[in-house]
C-alpha cells in the first residue's frame, strides 16, 4: 500500500467534529498510501482542532508528542450535568444556575488552576481490568477512577453569559494543561464546586506541544494537497538540538556511544541529533559513568532514524 511517494513526517490535522481520531488515521492512510500511520493523543468525536498524525518513520516520535502540554478553547455550561461530562451525553441533573455570580465562577476557576488532583471522566479511554472505562459505562457498569495529578497552568475565562432565560450560565475559557488532563472533568468539577453541575458544550484543541492550528489543515485541504512536516523539521521543533560531526553521526548510526550532549534538558528529554547534512540521525540521552570502558558520562541513541551512509 506504501507508494513511496510520501516521506516520513507529521501531518497536523484540524480534526472535524463528529470524527474519531481513528477515523482520521484511516483517512490519512488512504491519502498517504501507507499503513504506517498513527496519532499522538485522542480527541473526542465532539472536539475539533489539532490532531498530530505521524507517517512512516515519524510514528516513532508520537510517544514523545503524547506527553507534551496542550491548549484548548472550551465552553462550559453550568446548571446541567451529563453522563459523559459533555454535550453528547444524556442530562442526568439540572439545577438553576441563575444565582451563581461571576465572582464565584472566577474563584472556582482559580481553585482548579495549578497542580491539582483530577478524577478522569468515567467515559475516558483509561483501562479498568483490561477494558476501556467508557465501554464499562456504556454497558451500565459503575466506574470509579482514582484521582491523578495534573497541571492546569492557565484556566482563563473570556466570557460569562446567561442561557435558557438565565437558568444556565455558559463560560468560555482557554486552558493550558499537562498531558492527561481532561477538560470534560474540569467542566464537571467547576459545576460541582459551584453546586449546580456542569458539562462541556464545545472543545477545540489549538496546540499540542510546539504544533498549533497555524500549521493545521483540514481533511479537505489535505485531500487536495497532502502537507507533511518533514521528519527533520518536526524533530527540530520538538526536541533540543545537537549538531553532530560526520564521525559522530556515523558512530551514532551504528549504535556506538559518543560524548555527552551540552544541550540536554534538565527534565531528561531526549536530544535530536543531526548530521552535517541536516538529516536527523537519532534521539540521544545522556548517561552517567558505567565503569569499564566508559568511566565518564556519554550519550547513547534511544532511537536511530538514519543509517550511517544516509546520515553523513
pLDDT tens per residue across span 107-135: 999 999 999 999 988 766 666 666 666 66
Kindly name the residue from 14, 44, 86, 232 that is annotated as catalytic.
44
Cα–Cα distances in angstroms (integers) from residue 30 to residues 4, 51, 146, 228, in the given order: 13, 17, 39, 14
Eight-class DSSP state of 92:
E
Do residues 213 and 203 touch, judged by C-beta distance below 8 A? no
Q: Look at residue 265 in the predicted model and tell me its pLDDT.
A: 57
Please report the sign of the dihedral spanned by the C-alpha atoms of residue 187, residue 193, residue 71, residue 268: negative
Q: Look at residue 33 in the predicted model and tell me its pLDDT.
A: 93
Instruction: Please tell me which residue, 191 or 264, carries the higher pLDDT value.
Output: 191
Q: Please determine, for residue 57, whether its predicted confidence score (pLDDT) is greater than 80.
A: yes
Report d(CA 88, CA 310) in Å as an integer. 50
Residue 176 appears among annotated catalytic residues: no
Instruction: Please tell me which residue, 2 or 289, carries the higher pLDDT value.
Output: 289
Place of cell 458544550: 201
Eight-class DSSP state of 215:
G
Is the overall model pTM greater than 0.85, yes or no?
A: yes
Q: Please determine, for residue 87, whether its predicted confidence score (pLDDT) is greater than 70.
A: yes
Report d(CA 168, CA 80) in Å as an integer. 8
Rounded to an integer, the average pLDDT of 27-42 is 94
Do residues 137 and 123 touch, judged by C-beta distance below 8 A? yes
Tens-place pLDDT, residues 294-309: 557 889 999 999 764 4
Amino acid at each position: 500500500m506504501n507508494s513511496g511517494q510520501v516521506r516520513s513526517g507529521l501531518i497536523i490535522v484540524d480534526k472535524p467534529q463528529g470524527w474519531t481520531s481513528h477515523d482520521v488515521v484511516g483517512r490519512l492512510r488512504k491519502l498517504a498510501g501507507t499503513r504506517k500511520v498513527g496519532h499522538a493523543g485522542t480527541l473526542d468525536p465532539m472536539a475539533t482542532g489539532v490532531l498530530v498524525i505521524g507517517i512512516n518513520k515519524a510514528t516513532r516520535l508520537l510517544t514523545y508528542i503524547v506527553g507534551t502540554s496542550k491548549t484548548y478553547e472550551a465552553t462550559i455550561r453550568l446548571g446541567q450535568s451529563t453522563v459523559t461530562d459533555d454535550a453528547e451525553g444524556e442530562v442526568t441533573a439540572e439545577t438553576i444556575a441563575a444565582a451563581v455570580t461571576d465572582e464565584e465562577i472566577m474563584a472556582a476557576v482559580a481553585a482548579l488552576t495549578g497542580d491539582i488532583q483530577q478524577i478522569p471522566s468515567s467515559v475516558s479511554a483509561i483501562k479498568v481490568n483490561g477494558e476501556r472505562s467508557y465501554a464499562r459505562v456504556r454497558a451500565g457498569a459503575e466506574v470509579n477512577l482514582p484521582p491523578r495529578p495534573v497541571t492546569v497552568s492557565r484556566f482563563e475565562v473570556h466570557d460569562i453569559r446567561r442561557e435558557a432565560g438565565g437558568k444556565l450560565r455558559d463560560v468560555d475559557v482557554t486552558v493550558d494543561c499537562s498531558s492527561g488532563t481532561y477538560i470534560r472533568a474540569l467542566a464537571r468539577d467547576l459545576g460541582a464546586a459551584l453546586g449546580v453541575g456542569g458539562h462541556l458544550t464545545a472543545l477545540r484543541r489549538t496546540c499540542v506541544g510546539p504544533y498549533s492550528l497555524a500549521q493545521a489543515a483540514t481533511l479537505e485541504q489535505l485531500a487536495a494537497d497532502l502537507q507533511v512536516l518533514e521528519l527533520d523539521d518536526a524533530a527540530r521543533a520538538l526536541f533540543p538540538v545537537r549538531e553532530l560531526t560526520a564521525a559522530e553521526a556515523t558512530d551514532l548510526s551504528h549504535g556506538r556511544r559518543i560524548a555527552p550532549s551540552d544541550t540536554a534538558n534538565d527534565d531528561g528529554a531526549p536530544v535530536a541529533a543531526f548530521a552535517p547534512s541536516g538529516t536527523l540521525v537519532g534521539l540521544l540521552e545522556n548517561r552517567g559513568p558505567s565503569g569499564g570502558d566508559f568511566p565518564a558520562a556519554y550519550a547513547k541513541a534511544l532511537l536511530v532514524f538514519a543509517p550511517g551512509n544516509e546520515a553523513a
